[in-house]
Amino acid sequence: MPPKPPLTLVFAATPTLGIGSAGQLPWPQLKQEMGYFARVTKRVLPSPIANSRKKLNAVIMGRKTWESIPLKFRPLKGRLNVVITRDVHNEKWATLKNETEEGPIIAPSITAAVEALSEEELKKRDVECSRVFVIGGASIYKAALEMENTDRVLLTKIGKEYRCDTFFPVDFDGEEGRKKGWARKSREELEEFVGEEVKEGGLEEQGVPFEFCLYEREV
């Protein structure tokens, strides 16, 4: 992993950019949306320069996002999990077996989280890191957006409003997003990045419409 690998933010949000409510997702369980999240964050695209070490993507998240993931699903399988907490020495992290292949790496900041994906840490786990995804929450997204190496966003636009207490910090379709160089990419470009087909016009589940989108920041 280079010192500053490109970061991709992944999130789903309501029309007013709501992303959370009482420590959970604001909408009813959307199996296809969550399935897309799982496939896309797991998928390692074939690269011409392959060696023998197992390749995994990384998911970087804040402590509250970690705690919001059902116990049976965390650490998120088939991905290197990195959890950001100021309290790295708390005994609760010690019980998570830090140095197994997929047990979470604990880091005190997003920069430390990225640095933890260094050659040294990966060697211990006998893996290589492919893509790095930032999966929330709001304060972690905000910090990631201030990093120059954050160049992509995978946003699922949820087409229905829910009561939220946590919001994504930037509207990529508004003036602020444009001023900061963010632009929406085509469905074809999204398909190429995620490595799967994306339905034109979005999907609907439980009466909730949603659409997968890609944004990129020009450097």
Site residues for ligand FOL per CB under 6 A? 10-12, 25, 33-35, 37-38, 65, 68-70, 73, 76-77, 135-136, 156
Smallest distance, ligand FOL to C-beta of residue 20, A: 8
Q: Judged by CB, which is closer to ligand FOL: 24, or 95?
A: 24
Smallest distance, ligand FOL to C-beta of residue 3, A: 25
- Rounded to 5 degrees, φ, ψ at 90 are -55, 135
Smallest distance, ligand FOL to C-beta of residue 27, A: 9
| DSSP codes joined into one string, 134-200 | E---HHHHHHHHTSTTEEEEEEEEESS----SEE-S--TTSHHHHHTTEEEPPHHHHHHHHTS---T
Q: Judged by CB, which is closer to ligand FOL: 129, or 134?
A: 134
Strand 208-217 relative to strand 150-158: parallel, antiparallel, unpaired?
antiparallel
Rg (CA), the chain: 17
Q: Judged by CB, which is closer to ligand FOL: 46, or 70?
A: 70
User: What's the number of CA atoms in the CB half-sphere (13 Å) around residue 31?
Assistant: 2
Smallest distance, ligand FOL to C-beta of residue 68, A: 5
DSSP-based three-state secondary structure for 119:
helix
Smallest distance, ligand FOL to C-beta of residue 217, A: 18
- Rounded to 5 degrees, φ, ψ at 203 are -125, 170
Q: Judged by CB, which is closer to ligand FOL: 2, or 209?
A: 209
Q: Judged by CB, which is closer to ligand FOL: 48, or 167?
A: 167
